[in-house]
Structure formats: structure tokens, C-alpha cells
Amino acid sequence: MYNIKYTLFSIVVAACCFSSCKKDDAPIPADDTVKATLSIQFDNIAGDRNLQLNTGVYTNAAGEKFTVERLKYYITNISAKRVDGETFTVPKDSSYFLVSEADAASQFVKVKVPEGEYTSVSFILGVDSLSSVMDIRKRTGVLDPSAGMDDGMYWEWNMGYIFFKMEGTSDAAPADPSGRHNFRYHIGGFGGYSVPTLNNIKTITVDLTAGGVARVRQGREANVHLMVDILKMFNGAANVSIAAHPSVMFGDFSTIIADNYTQMFYHDHTEN
């Protein structure tokens, strides 16, 4: 009798579990009138290792060992594409974020999008040209130039944002007067004031189909887990040597780094 009851109980539990899973896996109808949270996680790594500020030692393609002390970048102008082909662009005033490796909370970018299943996400690494030159009184939050200067993410002399900043130390870099071997990469440029032809605004699109589409619905937060491999900044279409280029800011070589860092982002998985 015990075995029969246990077997029946197991069947009921299995049926319930199957029913629950089947319900969860059912397609989510697209509904533009109902919005829910889509979270995008920017998980900074170096190759196959988690990025550790100040303590981790990494090696680029030039064989140069380095340590990262600071990593920040702007993620803006977010949009997401649904399985039905419709693309939803997040309103601009809700689409500006500053990701910092020193601030774990900043690595989760959360926006509201209509319910549905999303197969890709797109964003700008940087700040678009219109926002870079709009009335300074309208630039609030992470775009507030005074806050940007405090964070070291705004060039007051050039009236422009630093899109991507990575600083650290490497024996490959020359020693400064204090004896430290610093490197610094401050990449910006939007075709604006000082160098009109320099435009490092990059739009990045990440496909989600292989790692799992984002199933956005009310009452449950979908999290798209992106890996951000900083080694790609050094080891992209062109290799970047710290010895040859220990400090890159506003100049022609910054376009090489900007082209490289578009390859940093890839989709690991989606948590629905």
C-alpha cells in the first residue's frame, strides 16, 4: 500500500511540475500596453577570469602583465528586439547608465519594456551626440557634467563625456616621477567641438537566441547576463601594447581602442 501511495504521489508531483514548467515555457504574448522590467547585467571579466580591481594580474596579447585599478563606461540608448520583429526603444530620459566595476549595483541596468520575448538588445557604449550638446540644465543624473567631473567621466575643456575609462598599472608602462608604472585609457569623442572628425560612439547589438531569449513579464524580472571581456580592448581587431601606448585619450589612436572594445560584450545566459 505504501508503495502504491508513494507511486501515485510521485506521479501527481511530476504532473504538477510538468504543468508548471509547461506554463512557464509557453510563449508570452506581446503586449505594448503592459511594461515590465528588463535587467541587463554587465559582468566584467578578463578572459576566463573575473575582473578584480587592484589585485588581479592579467596578460594581454602583447605579453604585458597589468592590473586594473579603475573601470567605468557609459551604457545608453537601449533598445530591445522582440521575436515578432518589433523593436522597442527605451525613452531617452530612462536610458542613461554609468557602469563601474567598483559599484556592483551599477552593473545591473534596469529598464521598462513591453511584455514579450526579446531576441536581442542594443545599446550605445558612450553618450550620443545630441545629449552631449543639449542644454546643460537638462543633463541630470549620470549625465550631469558636474557629477561626471567628480567621477572623472567628463572633459570640461572639451565639453564632452569620457565614454570608457580604464586605468591601472603595468611594468610595461614608463615610470612616472613617483615611480609608478601607470597606464590610462580615456576614450570619448562624438564628432563635436575640438576634433569634429573624431567619433567614437559605438552601437553594440547582442543576440540572445543562443543563450536564451529574455521573457519579459510582470511579476518576474528577466536578467540578460552579459560578459564584458576587457582583454578584447587590448586584443581586438588590432592589438594594443601598453608599452607603445600607455596613455590614450583624445586622439586618432583612440579610434583603434574604440573599435576593439565593441567586441568586449557577449551573452552568457538569461535568467527568467
Please give the full DSSP string across 81-143, using - where no structure is assigned: EETTS-EEEPPGGG-EEEEETTBGGGGEEEEEEEEEEEEEEEEEES--HHHHHS-GGG--GGG
Confidence of residue 144 (pLDDT cuts 50, 70, 90): confident
Residue percentage of the chain with pLDDT more than 90: 67
What residue spans define the domains of the chain?
35-271
| pTM attached to this predicted model | 0.86
Q: Is the pLDDT of residue 195 over 60?
A: no
Tell me the pLDDT tens digit for each residue of 5-24: 444 444 444 444 433 333 45
Q: 37 versus 190: which is more confidently predicted?
A: 37
Instruction: Please tell me the distance from the alpha carbon of residue 71 to that of residue 51, in angstroms, as a whole number.
Output: 10
Q: What is the dihedral sign for C-alpha 168, 229, 37, 164?
A: positive
Confidence at residue 22, expressed as pLDDT on a 0 to 100 scale: 39
Whole-angstrom distance, CA of residue 222 vs CA of residue 203? 22
pLDDT > 50? residue 47: yes
118: left (phi > 0), else alpha (psi -120 to 50), else beta? Answer: beta
